[in-house]
Structure 1
Amino acid sequence: MAAQQPSDTESASPALGRSLLWPAVAVGLGFLLVYNSFDASAGVPPPVAAVAPTRAPASSPAAASPAPVPSPSPSVESYGLSRSEPERIRIKKIAVDAPFTPLAIGPSGRLDAPPVNDRNLAGWFKDGATPGERGTSVVAGHVDTMTGPAVFLLLGTLKPGNKVSITREDGIVTVFKVDSVETFSKANFPDERVYADNGTAQLRLITCGGEYDKKAKDYKDNVVVFAHLAGVRPA
């Protein structure tokens, strides 16, 4: 998947959650992301503000010039590819192989969740950076639904060095290398740390974790995987 393939030295252990809250606030525009609870009757937890991912302007070289697919230059990994929508995510270590659905802001001001009747489906914030593009691309998924375990059930078991591959519409497979996996309280979410644009192609995978709040019918924390673009290859 990459000009320089990241190593794949990993171990896994189960982690379970029932709902996902990924809120974000774009620069100058607030919005929230809330995933459905395992319990369909669950209420919406209090919002948590965050800084949304940003991407290079269309006029910049990073967004305007597609990189060669077979042999990317070092600048591809440093700065990112041109914009292209993601089609499929694969995380070999935790047996993830799923298509994407775009997520948009709904009438409530919250980002719509993927359909709860499809357990093998990841969502991506379509108004943010696409995977591999300069900026922070945000991918979110359920850990389980009313019908059973879902796509990001074992997300919290990933380790630094694990690989995440995302196939894009333009035929490029982007390979991300995990830097860290951390759990944050939804009530005290480190917004800028998670979503800020540091000028390179970043990926954040988000689901829920921590203690389950029976009253709120939601988990109290978010599990966040921090990863960076490590290479590309043709699909």
Structure 2
Amino acid sequence: MPESVIRKRPAQIVAPPPGVITGPLPAPRPAPGRHPFRGTPPPKPKQPPRPIRGKRPGTVGLIALALLFLGLFCVAMGIGAATSAHFPDWFSGPARTDPPPRSFPVLDPSRPQRLSIPSIKVDAPILDVGRASDGSIDVPPLQRHDEAGWFDGGPTPGQFGPALIVGHADTRTGPSVFYHLPQLKAGQKIEVERSDRSIAIFEVNSVEHYNKGRLPIQRVYGDFSRPSLRLMTCGGTWLGGKQGYSDNVVVYASLVGSKKA
């Protein structure tokens, strides 16, 4: 056996001093109020200060506001007594029996029967027209070219919205009912006799010419802000055939009154 091995001594075990506990260390005791593996607990939220006993927040403000309204009420009552004004009337509208306020007249529905335009010497009966096969507004038949046509798909003259009356300008035999329509001027009167034996009176606002492909549909047919009238006929250049004239002539008029027939 090698001498180096012979010289080695077995390991000596030294006993611990008396009173020393040996073996695995016990687990540390957790701090009260928190888990042993959690960090430092967050600080507790501060409690809001309690209101003083016998008083509530906002009570003083509500009392002050009530006193303010009471004071205004008393002042208003004093003004009413001094000026003979009835205070409750300030907060109420007109009596229910009063008609609604309007800056223009409005008539009940009633079919038109006759058209009169003294300034261009028009006095013609009115017949009903609907839509043509292509969807456009129809016109009176040629054998009745001296009569005007009311579009029965719209308002009657005097109702809210634009009542539309159309007519021919001319035929191969000569002038028709609306031949002189472009000569109308703003301010001139138009009268429409209705089946309820009333006459709706309109005042011309303007006379305008449009290419048939650029007719302002909304302005002509879609203005329902008040009772109005549209008179329409052909104008411009004669194109011939089924095209007819190149333009439309439109008279814009507003209802200004009525009278008995």
For Structure 1 versus Structure 2, the TM-score category normalised by the shorter chain is: 0.5 to 0.7
SS of equivalent to 1:206? strand
2:205 is matched with 179
Q: Does the Cα contact within 8 Å between 1:79 and 1:134 map onto a contact in 2?
A: no
Q: Distance in 2 between matches of 1:187 and 1:124?
A: 22
Q: What count of residue pairs does the alignment treat as equivalent?
A: 163
Within 5 A, what are the aligned runs for 1:83-232? 83-106=109-132, 109-214=135-240, 217-232=243-258
Amino acid at match of 2:224: N
Q: Which has the higher contact order (CA 8 A, sep 6+)?
A: 1
Q: Distance in 2 between matches of 1:74 and 1:171?
A: 25
Q: Structure 2 regions of 5+ residues with no counterpart? A: 1-98
Deviation at 1:193, TM superposition (A): 1.6
Relative to its length, the structure with more strand (as a share) is: 1
1:42 is matched with none
Kindly tell me: are residues 198 and 225 of structure 1, through their superposed partners in 2, closer, same or farther at Cα, counting changes over 3 Å? same
Deviation at 1:127, TM superposition (A): 1.6
Amino acid at match of 1:160: A
Identity within the alignment, %: 42
Structure exhibiting the larger radius of gyration computed from Cα positions: 2
Kindly tell me: are residues 106 and 183 of structure 1, through their superposed partners in 2, closer, same or farther at Cα, counting changes over 3 Å? closer
Kindly tell me: are residues 194 and 118 of structure 1, through their superposed partners in 2, closer, same or farther at Cα, counting changes over 3 Å? same
Q: TM-score normalised to the size of structure 1?
A: 0.64
Q: TM-score normalised to the size of structure 2?
A: 0.58
What root-mean-square deviation, in Å, do the aligned CA atoms of Structure 1 and Structure 2 show? 2.1
Q: Distance in 2 between matches of 1:94 and 1:222?
A: 18
Kindly tell me: are residues 188 and 138 of structure 1, through their superposed partners in 2, closer, same or farther at Cα, counting changes over 3 Å? same
SS of equivalent to 2:182? helix
Q: Distance in 2 between matches of 1:201 and 1:183?
A: 22
Q: Distance in 1 between matches of 2:259 and 2:101?
A: 13
Q: Deviations over 1:111-158 (max 9, x none)?
A: 432121123200011120001111110000001123221000000000
Deviation at 1:186, TM superposition (A): 0.6
Q: Structure 1 regions of 5+ residues with no counterpart? A: 1-66, 68-72
Q: Distance in 2 between matches of 1:152 and 1:218?
A: 15
Q: Distance in 2 between matches of 1:100 and 1:74?
A: 32
